[in-house]
Amino acid sequence: MDKPQWENPDDFSMAFRCMKQKDARPFFEKGRIKFGTPRSWVEWEKKHGNGRGDQFEGTLATFNIFDVEHAVQTIKKYYAAYNDIEPMLKGNRCYLKRRSDMDLPCLCLYYLKNSMFPCPNTPGVHTLQCDIPASYFRDFADNAAPEYINSLSADDKPAVVIIKDYPAFKQRLIEKMLSLGIRREEIIEIGVSYIDFEQYGESGWWDFGQRSPKELAVKHIRFANQSEGRFIINTQRSEVRKMLSDSIEIGSLEDIIAYKGLVVYDLAVLNLTKLPILVHDSVVLKQISDDAIEKIIELYSTCGKQVIIALDKQDSYSEKTSALLSDAAVLKLAKGGQELFGRSWG
C-alpha cells in the first residue's frame, strides 16, 4: 500500500514567532507588531552572525567576478530593469540587490506546513505532532550558549507565540494595514524558497529569476530550518515606510494565539543540553491556558530530567494531569491545616 500523502503539503493553518518575553506580552495582549527590513537583517548578521541575520537577503542574482560572460549578461539584465541596483561583493562573488527593496517593511513567521506532520492512514480527526529543528531556536538566540540565555532577565529571555488561527490573524493584520492607508495590492504574502547558492561551486552563477520584490522570498538553503513566510509591504511611499518603522497594534490576539512564553523554549534547552534541572514558578505557568498546561505537564513528566514547578488550581485539570501532579508532588499547600507554617498569612 502506498504511503499516504497530503493533497496540499505546503498548506498550513498555524504559524508561530519567536521573540523576547517583553515583546511577546504586548503581541499577545494588543497585537503589537514590529516590521523589519532586509537591510536590517543584513546589518544584524554583521553584528551577531547569521541566524536572525542574513547577508544574502534580497539577492536577485550572483556570479563570480572573473566569470566575465555571465557577469556582463546578468549586469545588463538587471541594470536595464531597475535603476537602483546595489551590488554586494564578498570574496570573488558579486550579489546583485535592489536598493529600494532592501528597505521594504517585512513581517516574518514560521509556517507549520502540512508536510511537517505525518499524514494519517485513515480519514477523520487525528492528533498530530511534528518536531521543530533545534537549530531554528538557536538561530533566534544568535547561537548563544544556554548559560548565557539563563543569565538574562525574564524580559529578555526568548518566548514562543503560536498563532493557532492563522486565517484570523491574517485577516486582522490586513484589515489594520488597509485602515492605515496601505493599498491591498501593496500587501504581499509569500512563502520563502530555499536555494543552495553554492550548488554550482565558487565559479558558478545563479539568476533567481524573481521579479521585484519577490527576490525577498529567496534565501540560502542554510536557513531552510526556518520554514519562513513573509508579509512584504511593496510600496515606495515614504510616509508608509516611515509609519511602519514604528510598531502597529492590530488588537488583542488572546483568542487566536497560544502564549507559552519561555516554557517551551526552556524545555527545548533542557532536552538539548546537559542542564540537569528546570524550575518554573506559578507566575510563568498561570498565563497559559488549561489545555496547553496539560500538554506541558506531560512533557515535564517524560523529559527524563528533574523539573520543579509551583502550580495552582490542580483540581481544574483533567484526571490524567491531576494524577501526574499528585504522584510527583513533594509539597502541597492549602487551607485547613496544610499551610506552610501552620497558619494562613493572607
Query: Amino acid letter at 289?
Result: S
- Nearest Cα to 51, choosing from 226, 195, 208? 226
pLDDT at 171: 96
Residue 261: partners with Cβ closer than 8 Å, 6 or more residues away: 21, 24, 159, 160, 284, 287, 288
Question: What are the φ/ψ torsions at residue 26 (nearest 5 degrees)?
Answer: -70, -25
pLDDT at 96: 96
Convert the pLDDT of each residue in 270-319 to its tens digit. Answer: 777 777 888 877 766 766 666 677 778 888 888 888 888 887 766 667 78
- Nearest Cα to 208, choosing from 104, 98, 297? 98
| Confidence class for position 172, pLDDT limits 50, 70, 90 | very high
C-alpha cell at 30: 494588543
> Average of pLDDT values for 45-74?
91
* Average pLDDT value over all residues in the chain: 86
Calpha distance 228→225 (Å, rounded): 8
Taking a C-beta distance cutoff of 8 angstroms, is the pair 181, 240 a contact? yes
| Confidence class for position 344, pLDDT limits 50, 70, 90 | low
Question: What are the φ/ψ torsions at residue 82 (nearest 5 degrees)?
Answer: -135, 145
Over the chain, what HEC string results? CCCCCCCCCCCEEEEEEEEEHHHHHHHHHHCEECCECHHHHHHHHHHHCECCECCCCCEEEEEECCCHHHHHHHHHHHHHHCCCEEEEEECCEEEEEECCHHHCCEEEEEEEEHHHCCCCCCCCCCCCCCCCCHHHHHHHCCCCCHHHHHHCCHHHCEEEEEECCHHHHHHHHHHHHHHCCCCHHHEEEEECEEECCCCCCCCCCEECCCCCCHHHHEEEHHHHHHCEEEEEECCCCHHHHHHCCCCEECCCCCCCEEEEHHHHHHHHHHHHCCCCEEEECHHHHCCCCHHHHHHHHHHHHHCCCEEEECCCCHHHCCHHHHHHHHHHCCCCCECCCECCCCCCCC
pLDDT at 284: 66
Residue 144: partners with Cβ closer than 8 Å, 6 or more residues away: none
Taking a C-beta distance cutoff of 8 angstroms, is the pair 70, 63 a contact? yes
| Confidence class for position 259, pLDDT limits 50, 70, 90 | low
pLDDT at 142: 80
Taking a C-beta distance cutoff of 8 angstroms, is the pair 51, 142 a contact? yes
> Average of pLDDT values for 41-49?
90
Res 1 pLDDT > 60: no
Q: CA angle 317-279-28, nearest 5°?
A: 65
pLDDT at 345: 62
Calpha distance 76→304 (Å, rounded): 60
For the chain, what percent of residues have pLDDT higher than 90? 43
Residue 116: partners with Cβ closer than 8 Å, 6 or more residues away: 130, 227
Convert the pLDDT of each residue in 66-97 to its tens digit. Answer: 999 999 999 999 999 999 999 999 999 999 99
Query: 10 Å Cβ neighbour count for 114?
Result: 18
Taking a C-beta distance cutoff of 8 angstroms, is the pair 22, 238 a contact? no
